[in-house]
Copies of this chain bind each other. A is one copy, B any other.
Amino acid sequence: MIRFECDYLEGAHPLILKRMEETNFEQTAGYGEDAFCASAKEKIRKLCGGIDVEVHFLVGGTQTNFTVISAALRPHQGVLAAVTGHINVHETGAVEAVGHKVLALPSEDGKIRASQVRMAYEAHWNDKDHEHMVQPGMVYISHPTENGTLYGKEELQALHEVCQELSLPLFLDGARMGYGLMSEAGTLTLKDIAKFTDVFYIGGTKVGALFGEAVVIANPLLRKDFRYFIKQNGGMLAKGRLLGIQFDTLFTDGLYFEIAKQADALAMRLKDAFVKKGYRLRYDSYTNQQFPILPNDHMEKLKEKYSFAFWEEVDASHSAVRFCTSWATKEAAVDELIRDIEAL
């Protein structure tokens, strides 16, 4: 079985394992207060353009999402997000478990627009009974989205501006950040993202690390006491150095960007093969996730040799599925899959 169902099928980039081995017996303080973390944070700060940001490391994406949201909102507030957003569908209600409603906005492509944020905000405040409703208190977006789509620079800037105007912190979930930054269709840099959001994170789990998400907080209000939140929510690793070592390695000599770029390139080869074969695409993704709509018999045939994720039924004879590449995807595996598609 050759697996393409997600981007967390393997361990970590070998350079990370190597660095972990080299440093294994160095003694360091716990809880992220070590030199590896300090170095990784400094590198991330520089990549963000040297602006004044605070960097923290957490273990996983769901944890990062509910920790950030918990730190940002008061109890009567909710978070605006695409109805397809990870926090709305795939985190077992973790945001609700910390007390907040996800205020879902309709979305066809996984993105939300500045105008939607404004409308939702105004609908709330224009209602004379607004105290009976959850107050919008934050905006959550993901980049790339769960559908592999990307925000353009103007789109993010527009969201930034409306959020600033309405005093809504803008939170960007970058679980797959690398694949967005390096996409041939991408127009956003890390500096742009640092500039246009109040808080975001750079995903490690899906881009070369064993695990780990680097949270970057620009908004001073969200920084206050953030380490308490990490601890309370179970994200403060005793051996915090492990996160420092991983991110330090990923941001040495551009490793993070290089491996993401390669995964994107392989994904685009797959996309070309799907299109050439005549398949429609459920979402037009230029990142490491690809969503072809397969005739069901082709899907069954491919399943014999490959694993990939079922996405949704499109009609009686077609299904949307998801293939992912990652930093670990082998070129040969992609070649083989393409040959098999062509031969269907």
Contacts and interface: CB of A to CB of B under 8 A. Distances in A.
Interface of A: 1-3, 6, 8-12, 14, 17, 20-21, 23-31, 59-63, 66-67, 70-71, 74-76, 78, 89-94, 96-102, 129, 131-135, 205-206, 210-211, 225, 227-239, 241-242, 328
Contacts of A74: 71, 225
Contacts of A92: 76, 131-134, 228, 231-232
B90 A101 contact: no
A71 B97 CA distance: 12
Given A8-B30, A75-B98, A76-B97, 4 more contacts: A17-B20, A92-B134, A210-B239, A234-B235
Contacts of A237: 59-60, 211
Nearest to A18: B21
Contact of A62 (B9, B12, B236): B236
**Leading 8 A-B pairs by shortest Cβ distance:** A63-B234, A76-B228, A11-B24, A92-B232, A93-B134, A8-B238, A9-B27, A3-B27
Nearest to A103: B93
A197 to B, nearest CB: 21
B94 A96 contact: no
Q: Which of A20, A25, A89, A231 has the most CB of B within 10 A?
A: A231
A211 B60 CA distance: 14
* Most chain B Cβ neighbours within 10 Å, of A14, A63, A78: A63
Main secondary structure of the interface of A (DSSP, over half): loop
Contacts of A75: 70-71, 97-98, 229, 232
A5 to B, nearest CB: 8
Nearest to A230: B131
A176 to B, nearest CB: 12
Nearest to A231: B92
A173 to B, nearest CB: 14
20 contacts: A1-B27, A2-B27, A6-B30, A11-B20, A11-B23, A11-B242, A60-B237, A71-B74, A71-B75, A75-B97, A76-B225, A92-B134, A93-B99, A93-B133, A96-B100, A97-B232, A131-B231, A135-B228, A206-B238, A211-B237
Contacts of A70: 75
